[in-house]
Amino acid sequence: MTQPLLTVLMTVYNDDGYLPTAIESILSQTYSNFKFLILDDCSTDDSPRRVESYRDPRIELVRLPKNVGQTAALNIGLKRACTPWIARMDADDYSAPGRFEEQMKALERFPDVRCVGTAVWEFRDDPRIVEGIVKRPESADEIRQAALLGRGLIHGSIVIGREALLDVGGYDERYRYASDRELFIRFLKKYRAINLSEALLGIRRHPGQDSFSKQAADEYIDIFLRLLAGGDYSGAEQEILRDGLSYSYLFRANYFRSRGEYADWMKDILYSFRASPPRAIRTLGGQALRGISGKAKWN
């Protein structure tokens, strides 16, 4: 076997119930010449022993001595890896058998590209039961613009150049929920990415996922404010960023409303209008038609 070009990077924290599906989907890839680096972030369940039950020599388990969170764990893994390419994989997801083969072929076809993502499908318990397909733009220019609103690449689907990722500083450990979105904005200012149209990753939906929490909204607001303050974007791009900032304020406003914290709710409504009146009007109008439930989805 030749020297691997790819490291599959997975972080684990109390994912024992989901790990077999994720790990076995990686070990069953048609592209087999990779390393599988798994970082256990100080799990308190049987996750480490579950990983150790697999005797595949491609697996390397690193047990972190204390819980550092996924963002910091990814940076640890990124520095530990030594292959030119890094594939992301979450511990509760599922990779289609041909995922890495198709992504590595794409990198050969497009030598100027440093990141290849894919479309994904959503599932709950069985990855064979598709509940929805999520696609992203395919061209580099469209991806760069869409990334300003977090819609350029799906983090768990990517194969990305390790040196390029290190060159832009890796993951920003200030962010727990939005580190991937913030990373892609930085990465795509310097490097090109494409998405494959085929859904090659299954994303599991299950209770307890908190990607759309108040803490996530706080992080998105911070990112948008910093980007707008930096002045590095065109007028059209600033409009996109203000749109995202406005929507993030409205999302957090719904959180405050659901808790009866009406002073903070009103502040965020006003901040939303200040950031982008058209976005605030569109979103609030849509909520009025549906009835405000206190919940929202990032669109």
Do 186 and 259 share a domain, yes or no?
no
pLDDT in tens, 20-32: 999 999 999 999 9
Residue 120 in any domain: the answer is yes
Rounded distance, CA 81 to CA 160, Å? Answer: 12
pLDDT of 56 > 90? The answer is: yes
Do 148 and 31 share a domain, yes or no?
yes
Rounded distance, CA 82 to CA 250, Å? Answer: 42
Residue 1 in any domain: the answer is no
pLDDT in tens, 250-293: 999 999 999 999 999 999 999 999 999 999 999 887 765 455 44
pTM: predicted TM-score of the whole model, two decimal places: 0.90
- Is residue 34 within 8 A of residue 3, CB to CB? The reply is no
Rounded distance, CA 291 to CA 121, Å? Answer: 29
Rounded distance, CA 157 to CA 146, Å? Answer: 16
Do 196 and 119 share a domain, yes or no?
yes
DSSP secondary structure of 245-275: HHHHHHHHHHHHHHTT-HHHHHHHHHHHHHH
Do 115 and 181 share a domain, yes or no?
yes
Do 165 and 247 share a domain, yes or no?
no
pLDDT of 296 > 60? The answer is: no
Do 102 and 153 share a domain, yes or no?
yes
pLDDT in tens, 110-169: 999 999 999 999 999 999 999 999 999 999 999 999 999 999 999 999 999 999 999 999
- Is residue 67 within 8 A of residue 13, CB to CB? The reply is yes
Cα-based distances in Å from 143 to 63, 116, 186, 188: 35, 11, 13, 8
Do 172 and 93 share a domain, yes or no?
yes
H or E, element range at 198: strand 192-204
Do 195 and 220 share a domain, yes or no?
no
Domain boundary residue, one of 182, 204, 226: 204
At residue 293, the pLDDT reads: 46
Residue 296 in any domain: the answer is no
pLDDT in tens, 184-205: 999 999 999 999 999 999 999 9
Domain boundary residue, one of 204, 224, 248: 204
At residue 1, the pLDDT reads: 60
On average, the pLDDT of the chain sits at 93
Per-residue confidence at 79, pLDDT binned at 50, 70, 90?
very high
Lowest mean pLDDT of 12-21, 57-66, 226-235, name the range: 226-235
Tokens representing 81? 């890896």
Do 100 and 59 share a domain, yes or no?
yes
Do 135 and 23 share a domain, yes or no?
yes
Domain boundary residue, one of 149, 180, 204: 204
Per-residue confidence at 297, pLDDT binned at 50, 70, 90?
very low
pLDDT of 211 > 90? The answer is: no
- Is residue 32 within 8 A of residue 61, CB to CB? The reply is no
Do 195 and 117 share a domain, yes or no?
yes
**Which residue bears the tokens 């982008």?**
276
> Residue 231's domain spans which residues?
214-290
At residue 111, the pLDDT reads: 96
Overall domain count for the chain: 2
Do 221 and 197 share a domain, yes or no?
no
| CATH value at residue 134 | 3.90.550.10
At residue 136, the pLDDT reads: 97
